[in-house]
């Protein structure tokens, strides 16, 4: 049976919630036994598609990858990002897109970035049966307004704004809130203040859970090392070495060997 949104909410202040991103069925299958929550983030635009930001990601992309992750998992709660432009216009527009997302993927909940301005939409969703995960602090979909990918909450007024955003989203009914790229003390203060469990990324060990982009955690990007990422493997190097060995075998005709090909054609009687 899958972990439910209410079960995760009940973990507030208890056992930390384990979360990783997933974008494909094979990766979901590998991660599923070990995590509580699989997040199909719009980070897939940068990780899989090579975009410079998450802004070009579409509903069709999110639905295709979300459905794949759902098929590849059995245990984890599945949360899918609503992409940029799919929920900002109005609560009604957002609701239609969220309904489509849930119907076509079978996900457990949707995630939206935003604070006080988004709170009425969160409340609109929850009253109509759609669980929502919030996202405050550094919000990649708002990178052009926020002025880049920098940590939030260094100044007292900015910290107060992030806190107000988190409180508003929690009070609107979000079952959990991602807190991204904020100063440690601010993340801890938010966690202590709001009823919803907080999922930290570049925040604090004191959050109610943690999430990382799985490709970062596995070291698939050799040149990109965010400060907040702990690498548990260096698969980028392994993949490169394997490709090099394969290329050498092909060029020297060591591959395919006799054990990799089918036998001779038998003469018909």
Question: Is 43 annotated to bind ligand?
Answer: yes
Q: Would you state the pLDDT for residue 265?
A: 72
Task: Say how many domains are in the chain.
Answer: 1
The mean pLDDT value for 122-130 works out to 98
| Least confident piece of the model among 50-54, 91-95, 227-231 | 227-231
Question: Is 259 annotated to bind ligand?
Answer: no
> Rounded to whole angstroms, how far apart are CA atoms 3 and 167?
25
Whether 150 maps to a domain, the answer reads yes
In this structure, the number of other CB atoms found within 10 A of the CB of residue 244 comes to 10
pLDDT tens figures, 10-31: 999 999 999 999 999 999 999 9
Q: Which residues are CB-neighbours of 109 under 8 A, at least 6 positions away? A: 5, 77, 78, 79, 80, 130, 131, 132, 133, 175
Looking at the chain, the whole-number percentage of residues with pLDDT higher than 90 is 88
Question: Is 267 annotated to bind ligand?
Answer: no
Whether 206 maps to a domain, the answer reads yes
Whether 9 maps to a domain, the answer reads yes
> Rounded to whole angstroms, how far apart are CA atoms 83 and 235?
28
Mean pLDDT over each residue of the chain, to the nearest integer: 94
Residues with active-site annotation: 180
- Please return the burial class of 254, using the count of CB atoms within 10 Å of its CB with bins 0-12, 13-18 and 19+: exposed
- From the DSSP assignment, how many helices (H) and strands (E) are in the chain? 11, 8
User: Whole-model pTM?
Assistant: 0.94
Residue 264 has pLDDT above 80, yes or no: no
Whether 128 maps to a domain, the answer reads yes
The mean pLDDT value for 31-40 works out to 98
Domain of residue 115 covers: 5-235
216: domain CATH number is: 3.20.20.60
Question: Is 237 annotated to bind ligand?
Answer: no
Q: Would you state the pLDDT for residue 152?
A: 73
Looking at the chain, the whole-number percentage of residues with pLDDT higher than 70 is 96
Q: Would you state the pLDDT for residue 269?
A: 65
Percentage helix, strand, coil, to 5, in the chain? 45, 15, 40
> What pLDDT band is residue 228 in, cutting at 50, 70 and 90?
confident
Q: Would you state the pLDDT for residue 144?
A: 63
pLDDT tens figures, 160-218: 999 999 999 999 999 999 999 999 999 999 999 999 999 999 999 999 999 999 999 99
Whether 258 maps to a domain, the answer reads no
Residue 225 has pLDDT above 90, yes or no: no
Residue 147 has pLDDT above 70, yes or no: no
67 or 268, higher pLDDT: 67
Residue 151 has pLDDT above 90, yes or no: no
């Amino acid at each position: 049976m899958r972990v439910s949104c209410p079960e995760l909410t009940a973990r507030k202040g208890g056992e930390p919630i384990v979360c990783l991103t997933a974008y494909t069925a094979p990766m979901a299958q590998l991660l599923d036994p070990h995590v509580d929550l699989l997040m199909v983030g719009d980070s897939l635009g940068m990780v899989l598609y090579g975009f410079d930001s998450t802004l070009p990601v579409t509903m069709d992309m999110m639905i295709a990858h979300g459905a794949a992750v759902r098929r590849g998992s059995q245990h984890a709660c599945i949360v899918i990002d609503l992409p940029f432009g799919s929920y900002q216009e109005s609560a009604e527009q957002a609701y239609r897109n969220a309904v489509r997302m849930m119907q076509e993927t079978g996900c457990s909940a949707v995630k939206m970035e935003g604070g006080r301005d988004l709170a009425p939409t969160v409340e609109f969703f929850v009253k109509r049966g759609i669980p929502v995960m919030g996202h405050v602090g550094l919000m990649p979909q708002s990178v052009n307004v926020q002025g880049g990918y920098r940590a939030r909450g260094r100044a007292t007024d900015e910290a107060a704004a992030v806190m107000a955003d988190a409180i508003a989203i929690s009070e609107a009914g979000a079952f959990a809130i991602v807190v991204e790229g904020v100063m440690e003390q601010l993340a801890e203060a938010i966690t202590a203040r709001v009823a919803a469990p907080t999922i930290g990324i570049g925040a604090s060990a004191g959050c109610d859970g943690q999430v990382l982009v799985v490709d970062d955690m596995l070291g698939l990007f050799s040149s990109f090392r965010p400060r907040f990422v702990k690498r548990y493997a260096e698969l980028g190097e392994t993949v490169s070495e394997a490709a090099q060995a394969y290329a050498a075998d092909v060029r020297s005709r060591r591959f395919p060997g006799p054990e990799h090909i089918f036998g001779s054609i038998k003469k018909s009687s």
